[in-house]
């Protein structure tokens, strides 16, 4: 094997390992807030007596009814999805960024281009993850979905368009904002200040991205979650669901779960990018 091939293989292994580590750490730390976010998003209207009164009420209700375990329901599908997904995501992002650096494409737009590489798998996992909040076994739920609805847009591919929109919009802003702002703000020689600089930029990146893409997230949760009337499909497609939620529940309903989403993806976005950069730096020095 030539030295050039060895160098490319080492670079790829660093990016894949660092990206996978970033996904795993972020999910393990921030999953409870994802549970709370999804619980808010699948509520329908103010008249529902089971609606949570606020963020604190949701946390208390889950804890009283389900214990600490309730906050980690459905964590296996995200771990199975996010670890390899982030590995592929960061690897392809870095490779496409180099390949397309001569064009006008920003890093965020490059990230949007790679969504098609893993969006199918992520949609499958998302469906299992959403329904697992009310079902104990991820694999049993997967078998039920396949046996009942198959692999199509009513089965394991349900919510494909909303998932694509959610990730596409998020990553265009997330990566584009982070790498452009990070280059614009001078680095600090003090390791603690440099850590805080990167964390703050990552926090803002995740927060802004979450505010922009949440209508797609609400649509995804409604499409993939339980329908209001069993046997009747009310939420069929991404934009049809957004329009229906807007007509029936108002504009603010499209932003349900925004606070827990920001609480998760704000610091979660910072954690993911920091883990990726520091693990990548460590690997370059030691491996």
- pLDDT tens by residue, the chain, 287 residues: 567 777 888 888 998 999 999 999 999 998 888 888 878 777 766 656 667 888 888 889 889 998 988 898 888 888 888 788 888 888 887 887 777 765 544 544 444 444 444 444 455 565 555 555 555 456 676 677 677 777 666 666 778 889 889 988 998 898 889 988 988 999 999 999 999 999 999 999 999 999 999 999 999 989 988 888 877 889 989 999 999 999 999 999 999 989 888 988 899 999 999 999 999 999 988 88
Domain ranges of the chain: 12-286
What confidence score (pLDDT) does residue 215 get?
96
> What are phi and psi for residue 271, nearest 5 degrees?
-60, -45
- Category of 44 on φ-ψ map: left (φ > 0), alpha (ψ -120 to 50) or beta: beta
pLDDT reported for residue 12: 87
Looking at residue 101, its pLDDT comes to 64
CATH topology of domain 12-286: Mitochondrial carrier fold (1.50.40)
Closest CA to 276 of 31, 91, 33, 34: 91
Residue 126 CA to residue 131 CA, distance in Å, equals: 9
What's the pLDDT score for residue 125? 67
Q: Which of 275, 287, 278 is nearest to 23 (CA)?
A: 275
- Which has the closest alpha carbon to 76: 19, 158, 153, 135? 135
Cα 274 from Cα 278, distance rounded (Å)? 6
Distance CA 2, CA 11 (A): 14
């Amino acid at each position: 094997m030539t030295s050039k091939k060895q160098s490319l293989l080492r670079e790829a292994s660093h990016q894949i390992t660092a990206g996978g580590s970033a996904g795993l750490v972020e999910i393990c730390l921030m999953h409870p807030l994802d549970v709370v976010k999804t619980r808010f998003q699948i509520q329908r209207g103010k008249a529902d007596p089971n609606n949570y009164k606020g963020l604190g009420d949701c946390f208390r209700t889950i804890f009283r009814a389900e214990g600490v375990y309730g906050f980690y329901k459905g964590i296996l599908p995200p771990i199975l999805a996010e670890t390899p997904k982030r590995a592929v995501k960061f690897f392809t992002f870095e490779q496409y960024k180099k390949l397309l650096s001569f064009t006008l494409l920003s890093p965020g737009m490059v990230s949007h281009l790679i969504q098609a590489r893993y969006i199918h798998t992520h949609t499958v996992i998302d469906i299992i993850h959403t329904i697992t909040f009310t079902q104990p076994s991820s694999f049993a739920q997967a078998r039920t979905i396949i046996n009942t609805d198959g692999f199509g847009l009513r089965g394991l591919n349900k919510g494909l368009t909303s998932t694509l929109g959610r990730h596409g919009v998020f990553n265009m802003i997330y990566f584009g904002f982070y790498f452009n702002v990070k280059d614009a703000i001078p680095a600090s020689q003090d390791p603690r200040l440099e850590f805080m600089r990167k964390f703050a930029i990552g926090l803002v990146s995740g927060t802004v991205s979450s505010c922009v893409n949440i209508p797609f997230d609400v649509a995804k949760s409604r499409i993939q979650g339980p329908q209001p009337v069993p046997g009747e499909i009310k939420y069929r497609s991404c934009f049809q669901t957004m329009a229906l939620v807007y007509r029936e529940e108002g504009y603010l309903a499209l932003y349900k779960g925004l606070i827990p989403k920001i609480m998760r993806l704000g610091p979660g976005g910072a954690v993911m990018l920091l883990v990726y950069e520091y693990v990548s730096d460590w690997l370059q020095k030691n491996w």
